[in-house]
Amino acid sequence: MNKIQTLFVSLFLGLIFVSCNKDDDMPIYDPQSHYEQEAPIIASYVQDSLDAVNMTYDANTGIWYSVDSVAGGDYSYEQWPDITVKFKGKLLDGTVFDGTDNLTNYPDSVLTVNLSNLIDAWKLVFIPKEVNGTVVGGLTVNGLQKGAKVKFVTPSPLAYQDVNNGMIPANSPLYFEIEVLDIKAPSTI
């Protein structure tokens, strides 16, 4: 190899090395620091915009929630259920980013989906604290059942974390209102 070829190969390898090391300089996503940063923002939102007296704070998850209607039902949560809901999702500044009132996204004015396909906050709000004596970490004793209505505010680590998602900026705590129209065992289709 002549000197010019050696120089180009050295420069090329150097650029590859530098570009690979740039990833090492990227900050690592730290959910705990986001919980800590967002906790006072979420608490202020709950105090100023919601009926804080009726809201419950779950220190394990950072979720504030209110089950406005418990309703009946007997879904056992031994599998992730298919749920049919009406819902609205908002940023804490009041911007509605999604909901079943949007006829373009939800022509039937409902969302039917398997719970396993949703953000962690929805899973925690739906599932019970225990299933058959095993702690699964939900917020309510029996989990949400058909007819339940719930409002909750979640920190970003249980939503979309540090990723932009449509109208939702990265690191955004979110507010949801959900009415459970149906909950059943997953379809086999």
d(CA 170, CA 165): 7
**Predicted confidence (pLDDT) per residue in 71-92, tens digit:** 778 899 999 999 999 999 999 9
The residue segments making up the domain with residue 167 are 33-184
Give the CATH number for residue 52. Answer: 3.10.50.40
Q: Report yes or no on 6 lying in a domain.
A: no
Q: Report yes or no on 52 lying in a domain.
A: yes
**Predicted confidence (pLDDT) per residue in 120-131, tens digit:** 999 999 999 999
Give pTM, 2 decimals: 0.83
Q: Report yes or no on 2 lying in a domain.
A: no
Determine contact, residues 39/59, Cβ cutoff 8 Å: no
Q: Report yes or no on 160 lying in a domain.
A: yes
Helix (H, G, I), strand (E, B) or coil at 124: helix
Residue 32, pLDDT > 50, answer yes
